[in-house]
Amino acid sequence: MHNWKNSNRPWLNLVAILYPRHSILRVGQILAVASLWLSVSSQAQTPWFRDQAFKEKGAIGVTTMLQDSKGWLWFGGTQGLYRYDGSLMYKVSAPASVQSVAITALFEINELIWVGFDNGAIAHIPVINKVSSPSTNEIQDQSTLSAPLSLWLPQEGVPTQKITAFADDGQGGIWFSTYGEGVYIWKENRLYQYNQADDGLAGDEVYTLISDPKGHVWAATDAGISICSMKNMGKKQVENISIEEGLPDEIITTLHLDSDGNILVGTQDKGICSIDVHTKACTVITPRWPHCAVTQLEIFGKQEIWVGTEKEGLFCLNTALIPAIITTPPEACQIKALKKDREGLLWYITNKGDVYMANARYSTIELPFNNIQAVCIDKQARKWIGTAQGLYMETQGKLTRVLPAKHNIISLWEDDSGSVWVGTFGDGIWSLNAAGNINGHWVEKDGLSNGSILSITGQDGHLWLATLGGVTEMKRRSNGQYQLSNLPEMVNKYVYKVFCDSKKRVWFGTDGQGLRVLEQGGIKHYSTVNGIELKTIYSIAEDTKGRIWFGTDREGLFCFDGVNFKNYTTKNNLHSMSIIGVACNASGQVVVAYENGFDLLDPERVDHVTFCDVANGVPLSEINLNGICKDPQGHIWLGTKKGLVRAADFQEYFNDDPQPSIIDISIFLKPIDYLSQHYFSHNQNYFTFHFTGLWYTQPESVRYRYMLEGLDLNWTISKDQLASYPNLPPGHYIFRLQASEHGNFDNVPETTWEFTIAPPFWVSWWFLLAAITAVTMLTYRWIKNRDAIHRREALLNKEKADSQFAALKSQINPHFLFNSFNTLITIIEENPKIAVEYVENLSDYYRTIMVYREKDFISIQEEIELVVNFTFLLKKRYEHNFHVKNLVPHDQIGFIMPLTLQMLLENAVKHNIISTAHPLIVEIYIENGYIVVRNNIQPKIRPEVGTHFGLQSLQHRYQLTGQLPVVIEKKNHFFTVKIPIWAQKL
């Protein structure tokens, strides 16, 4: 049972249930209640428009837009052309001649975006376009497309006046209009012009073009409409429609093709009219248009027309009702462009270059009171709103109180005659006529099972009331009075919902006792379906195919097709198992309401589910239990704590999932033409896929799932837009990509790309056959000689290594003596006393060398000791002009070949200037398993001729050991030699 006490719905609080019994109001009391009508203001119905902050993203001066066949949005303006994916702006580079010229028209023909400029120039760019990496001089959040705009230069030349629009007649002709030079058509590689003087065009100042289903092109001018066509051999035809033919205004500012193939016309002073393309008959839609010039038109479904104006912003007209005006933020402005995209989003651009977007399927009405408990939209599109503070009626933005605040309204329903029935909490049921006057009032003493009416329904003059005490039937007699009786099977049962379906069955949703249905005079009880125990049923609805849908408080959603029940849970992608309300729109989609949003379930799309909340452009607050209804146009309305939300059903298809798209494919980071190339060699096997999921509703929520069939066993789910596959083996592969805005990937769109990597020639059948034959012929000889060959090779390798190693090691002694004697000669000439000391130290040093020369390896510390002694000898000559920085730790362990470091010190002295102005600094330190000797490079003016024997010998000696190589580097003004260190002697 529902937790009434903790409920935030005051009409369902059992503490307040007093079961009051009221007497029937006298006529005077009825009039007194009726006189309590109170008019208050109400905000207009509007979608939630969001500023796209294009200026912050670098798109300044935007004036026009287009959505291409792949789903990308393109924006043009005074600063160039941009492609937009919902997050990033991709700038299109342009030829110098049009870089500073405003873009005035965009159109797609044959996967080319055609761009018209203010100076008459025309260019185009492919729809499929790779993205280049942003350069450092570009603004944040902006990249560029790899292909630039290409100027279109026909032989006949291009106009010199502003390009205002393009059109495709579907017969090979590309049309474009100008403001001052009429209309042009490019057909069969020739350019033709239609103008006023030569061809009878209504006017040369053309605002826009549109192509009708017959392939005729309509041009909007300052003197009416011209319908242009071209027969064979370049024969031009023009038919004009003006005020004489029924146009309400001479100046036609915009044209739009509706869903029936007729032309919707916007004018300068007379609003909007419609023209039948077959009869050319004109129907004025706004006979008394009170606003300024129409600049843009967009249509949703068959009844809702969005109108952009020259000064007053945006309006919305519902042609099935009294025209309803809907203002949109910001304040009144000029609408330069208006576009419906394939997600059902409405975009508009102002004369200031600001870009706004809203999901036009979802709109709100904010009301001056909270907690809407019941909603009913009558046949006149008036909104009846039940609250804990009485009943209100909203018409064209005007809100009127119908029943006073002492009545707590919890249910509403309109019958076939247009009367509205009002269920209250504790005060029975009221009947109001279409004008809002009270027809009658019934309470418990009149036969109601209980005075709290939770749900109302009816057919053919019969009413069924769900109450806290059971179900009451109200039958209308011939005299217009009602006879009340209580359904015996439902006495003393709490019933949340009562619903009459198209088969005249009456369904009852109970509190804790499942689902019941009255059919052919008997009641059938569904307490368990598909093994699931049914308890509390909050809501029931019927779709266009006669299926019954009902929502529960814990078991999710159920569908009954007359034979079988199907259960929908969070495993079927429902948002929650606790359902507040269920309603079916005119298209057969099911709206499943929760406290924090609603699901839009489409049974015909394999039970596709889309969750709608504030992130999807639906600014919802908490939805109430009885606050859901369908209006006469098939739209669903939801009552919330803060106002009304409309989930519109325009009965046209919209994308409710991100559309996955492969942007670029690279092999070894080099882009390929993936549209035509699908076969690759065995060494073309490092693939990188760059992709996106276009979802302008909420781009930051998109997640991706991809798999490379032929390699991957499972899907990879990621938010990244890159997938890399290195070292792919030969085979056939299919890259599969899906995108989802809610993390569920069931029944979402998918794009694929197939390719094949060919095997190398050495695994082909002919090569394998040849190899097997050769192996067979050589096998016997190989087996016979392998032992002898192995023994001979081992002996030769050992002798070779020993010989090379001994020879290289012995070469160090004459090399060292040669350098030492040269140094001694120099010192003897300059300072004989120092020479004596030098000879003594040299003798001691050489004695140490004689000890170490027989060893293959010595410890790091022994080698450092040699360096210290050798440094002493060198500093006697060069004094403070020569420095050795020994940074090797005292406890450093490891082994190197003897005399290695002293040889490197010798080379540094030999090949560099050493003076007071140019001191030589040698550093010795440990780095990543190497002992490093580094000196600054300051070459002598006359370099000494070297044999490079020392360094080559050192490299060869270490190479023979099979360990890490010696590293020699000369860069950044330093000469560096890195000697590997062994942890132990080899």
3-state secondary structure of 665: strand
Side-chain half-sphere of 968: how many Cα atoms within 13 Å?
Answer: 10
Do residues 692 and 723 lie in contact, with contact meaning Cβ atoms separated by under 8 Å? no
Assign 31 a pLDDT band (cuts: 50, 70, 90): very low
In angstroms, rounded to a whole number, what is the distance separating the alpha carbons of residues 495 and 604?
31
Q: Is the four-CA dihedral 315, 319, 323, 326 of positive or negative sign?
A: negative
Q: What is the mean pLDDT of residues 268-289?
A: 94
Is the link from the previous residue into 159 a cis peptide, with omega within 30 of 0?
A: no
Task: Give percent helix, percent strand, percent coil of the chain, each to the nearest 5.
Answer: 20, 40, 40
Average pLDDT over the chain reads 85
Per-residue pLDDT at 324 exceeds 70: no
The structure tokens listed for 463 are: 């009413």
Do residues 141 and 88 lie in contact, with contact meaning Cβ atoms separated by under 8 Å? yes
Conformation bin of residue 95: beta by default, left when phi > 0, alpha when psi is -120 to 50 = beta
Cα distances (Å, whole numbers) of residue 676 to 670, 732, 754, 755: 16, 16, 11, 10
In angstroms, rounded to a whole number, what is the distance separating the alpha carbons of residues 264 and 262?
7
In angstroms, rounded to a whole number, what is the distance separating the alpha carbons of residues 619 and 614?
4
Do residues 139 and 159 lie in contact, with contact meaning Cβ atoms separated by under 8 Å? no
State the DSSP H helix or E strand holding residue 867, giving kind and residue range, or none if neither: helix 860-878
For tokens 């080379």, name the residue.
907
Cα distances (Å, whole numbers) of residue 268 to 182, 221, 247, 832: 19, 11, 12, 111
pLDDT given for residue 168 in this prediction? 95
Residue-wise pLDDT tens digits, 554-607: 999 999 999 999 999 998 889 999 999 999 999 999 999 998 889 999 998 877
In angstroms, rounded to a whole number, what is the distance separating the alpha carbons of residues 113 and 560?
49
Instruction: Provide the percentage of residues in the chain whose pLDDT is more than 70.
Output: 87
Side-chain half-sphere of 936: how many Cα atoms within 13 Å?
Answer: 12
Residue-wise pLDDT tens digits, 450-463: 999 999 999 888 89
Residue (of 651, 826, 663) closest to 300 by Cα position: 651
In angstroms, rounded to a whole number, what is the distance separating the alpha carbons of residues 411 and 425?
9
In angstroms, rounded to a whole number, what is the distance separating the alpha carbons of residues 392 and 482?
25
Determine how many CB atoms are found less than 10 A away from the CB of residue 530: 9
Q: Which letter does DSSP use for residue 483 in this model?
A: E
pLDDT given for residue 137 in this prediction? 35
In angstroms, rounded to a whole number, what is the distance separating the alpha carbons of residues 920 and 8?
86
Assign 870 a pLDDT band (cuts: 50, 70, 90): confident
Which among 4-13, 439-448, 852-861 has the top mean pLDDT? 439-448
Cα distances (Å, whole numbers) of residue 583 to 86, 199, 588, 622, 631: 32, 57, 10, 17, 11
Per-residue pLDDT at 470 exceeds 80: yes
The structure tokens listed for 370 are: 């909270």
Least confident of 296-300, 399-403, 898-902: 898-902
Do residues 909 and 919 lie in contact, with contact meaning Cβ atoms separated by under 8 Å? no
Least confident of 382-391, 480-489, 574-583, 856-865: 856-865
In angstroms, rounded to a whole number, what is the distance separating the alpha carbons of residues 98 and 101?
5
Do residues 20 and 426 lie in contact, with contact meaning Cβ atoms separated by under 8 Å? yes
Rounded to the nearest 10 degrees, the angle between the axes of helix 860-878 and helix 812-830 is 30
Per-residue pLDDT at 515 exceeds 90: yes
- Where does residue 732 rank: exposed (0-12), middle (13-18), buried (19+ CB within 10 A)? exposed
pTM: 0.73
pLDDT given for residue 667 in this prediction? 95
Residue (of 685, 698, 769) closest to 733 by Cα position: 685
For tokens 């200037």, name the residue.
913
Assign 949 a pLDDT band (cuts: 50, 70, 90): low
Residue (of 264, 316, 291) closest to 45 by Cα position: 316
Q: Which letter does DSSP use for residue 220 in this model?
A: E
Residue (of 300, 326, 322) closest to 313 by Cα position: 326
Cα distances (Å, whole numbers) of residue 511 to 492, 567, 696: 11, 19, 42
